[in-house]
Amino acid sequence: MTDQAKPTNAATEHALALLEKKAARLRHELVELRRKLSHARRALSENHAIQLREANQKLVLAALHADDIAAMAVADLAALTAAFQRDVVTGTLSRACMLDRLEHALLMARRDGRCLALVFVDLDHFKPINDHLGHAAGDEVLQIVARSLQSVLRESDSVCRYGGDEFLVLLPAIAVPADADRIAAEMLTALGTPVSVGGEILKLSASLGISIYPDDGEDSVTLIKHADEAMYRRKRAGFGDFRPHLGAWFQERKPSLQDLRDANTQLVLAALKAQESAADATEAHRRQLKHMAIVAHELRNPLTPLRIAASLLINRNSTGEIPIERLQVIINGQVTYMTRLIDDLLDASRLSTGRLRIERSSLDLGSILNQVAASCRLGMALRQQHFSVDVRSEPIHMLGDPMRLAQIFRNLLDNASKYTPEKGEIALELLLQDTCAVITVRDNGIGISAEALPTIFDLFVQDAGALPHSNAGLGIGLSVVRDLVKAHGGSVIAHSAGQGCGSDFVVTLPLSDW
């Protein structure tokens, strides 16, 4: 047994030696593998850190410049408001703003059963003045005319430069047509005062035409047309009536005691109306300041979460428990929100200054409506709202900008969904009438109050009852809708029986002949 054990121990020792060599080789290979893995991890970490630092730098720069962007947007908004409301040369109301005021004045006149007047003013012999003295002197003459007209108007009245040397004056509060005649005579007297322009003494004159609501028309287009026609008749004749249908506007006679009493009564009424108009103007100014503050506030709101996210990314070593994907969601959400606000402001600015391009092409209106309906359906389904679409399958041809038309109806449908409660009803309907398409967006939501309805398409106007549902909107969308529809030669009106009674927005667009 002893002799046999010796070879066995030798074989065992040899096997152990071989195993130890293999183990040593494996240990060496494992150390080398760990070294390579550690090196790979360091390289990956350095690469990730470089990418993270670059992202952090961009986010920090965005946060640092966000205040400047908000301040610039507020400044652009102020310029937008001024451009929308005032003529550059004379400082009078812009044509668009005057037409809006006229529409509102007509609504108030119909509601109260009273008269209003339009005075169309055209300067006599303006071209020779402009040609002889130059355009700078011509602009000065227009400014003098604007000041002269404003000097005899009441606070409730409005004047705008309607064309090159034409002015339109709105007298929204007259008791009798003779009031308009009296103010027109005062305008001519004010314009007749000699003035010095470009080293020349000029005595200006103008031809005036007056139209009265409801005697000469019940809509803005008819009233402006009749005032214009009366002005041209007076210009051709050199004398005659201011108004198109009534008798002589002025007679030389001594005033009676009754005339003086009537005049005194009208003066008191005019003073009361002036006080009301002053209060309205103060309230309008207050609303404008409030909307400016809202815009500035809403533009600054996204900055706080952006700064917090940027700070967390910079100090990621101490806040590693927050996933980077979560920070990206926060940043993307706030940037998208700020982008939407700025896009709304830019659209309003471009529309009011005429810089928004409408790229017309032949298109199928029904196809656009169906595409918009499909894009809005998911959001309505999430709110459990019932959405019905009644659009004919046959092509409906028109000339228009497909992107802007989609913007119009997406805005109206989004508004309908926003202001309609869960399980509410929303409908999109299209009807053809003669050469027009009539598209109605109807809902049974919160409705529009009688006070807000006449001005619902004005810039920054929001119904007080809708504010809890507006998601911090700025009151820009419907103004953009109105101007885009007008740019396509159409019209848009809103109907509502009041708060809680739903609303209808009806868009009428002209169709192509083929």
DSSP string, 425-489: EEEEEEEEETTEEEEEEEE-SS---TTTGGGTTSTT---GGGGGGSTT--S-HHHHHHHHHHHTT
Lowest mean pLDDT across 37-46, 192-201, 242-251, 470-479: 242-251
The arithmetic mean of pLDDT across residues 217-223, rounded, is 90
Q: Considering just the CA atoms, what is the radius of gyration of the chain in Å?
A: 36
Asked if residue 426 has pLDDT above 70, the reply is: yes
Q: Look up tokens 């006599």; give the residue.
A: 124
The arithmetic mean of pLDDT across residues 417-423, rounded, is 90
> What integer pLDDT is reported at residue 117 of this predicted model?
93
Amino acid of residue 498: G
Is residue 156 within 8 A of residue 274, CB to CB? The reply is yes
The mean of the pLDDT values for the chain is 75
> Could you tell me which residues come within 8 angstroms of residue 225 by beta carbon, excluding any fewer than 6 positions away?
217
Q: CA dist 466 to 342, 416, 426, 478, Å? A: 22, 12, 17, 14
In 315-401, which ranges are continuous DSSP H helix?
324-352, 365-382
45 pLDDT band, cuts 50/70/90, is low
> What integer pLDDT is reported at residue 348 of this predicted model?
57
Q: How many CB atoms lie within 10 A of CB 108?
A: 13
Asked if residue 319 has pLDDT above 50, the reply is: no
Among 272, 200, 211, 217, residue whose Cα is nearest residue 244: 211
SS (H, E, C) 100-146: HHHHHHHHHHHHHCCEEEEEEEEECCHHHHHHHHCHHHHHHHHHHHH
> What integer pLDDT is reported at residue 250 of this predicted model?
33
Lowest mean pLDDT across 207-221, 264-278, 315-329, 397-411: 315-329
> What integer pLDDT is reported at residue 246 of this predicted model?
35
Higher pLDDT, residue 471 or 362: 362
Helix (H) or strand (E) holding 397, with range, is strand 397-400
> What integer pLDDT is reported at residue 504 of this predicted model?
94
Asked if residue 238 has pLDDT above 70, the reply is: no
What is the spatial distance between Cα 490 and Cα 72, in angstroms, rounded to a whole number? 33
Asked if residue 84 has pLDDT above 60, the reply is: no
The arithmetic mean of pLDDT across residues 29-47, rounded, is 64
SS (H, E, C) 341-365: HHHHHHHHHHHHCCCCCCCCEEEEH
Higher pLDDT, residue 34 or 413: 413
The pair of structure tokens assigned to 382 is 């999430």
Lowest mean pLDDT across 39-53, 62-76, 237-251: 237-251
Lowest mean pLDDT across 196-210, 316-330, 439-453: 316-330
Asked if residue 285 has pLDDT above 70, the reply is: no
Q: How many CB atoms lie within 10 A of CB 196?
A: 10
The pair of structure tokens assigned to 328 is 């990206």
The arithmetic mean of pLDDT across residues 273-293, rounded, is 64
Is residue 353 within 8 A of residue 83, CB to CB? The reply is yes
- What confidence tens digit (pLDDT) does each residue in 154-211 have? 888 999 988 888 999 999 988 888 888 888 889 888 888 888 887 788 888 888 999 9
Higher pLDDT, residue 21 or 78: 21
> Could you tell me which residues come within 8 angstroms of residue 147 by beta carbon, excluding any fewer than 6 positions away?
none
> What integer pLDDT is reported at residue 415 of this predicted model?
87
248 pLDDT band, cuts 50/70/90, is very low
Q: CA dist 485 to 283, 407, 413, Å? A: 29, 10, 15
pLDDT above 70 as % of the chain: 59
> What integer pLDDT is reported at residue 78 of this predicted model?
53
Cis before 7 (ω within 30): no
Higher pLDDT, residue 319 or 264: 264
Q: What distance lies between CA 329 and its chain's CA centroid? A: 29
Asked if residue 240 has pLDDT above 50, the reply is: no
Q: Which domains does the chain have, with CATH numbers?
A: 95-245 (3.30.70.270), 361-510 (3.30.565.10)
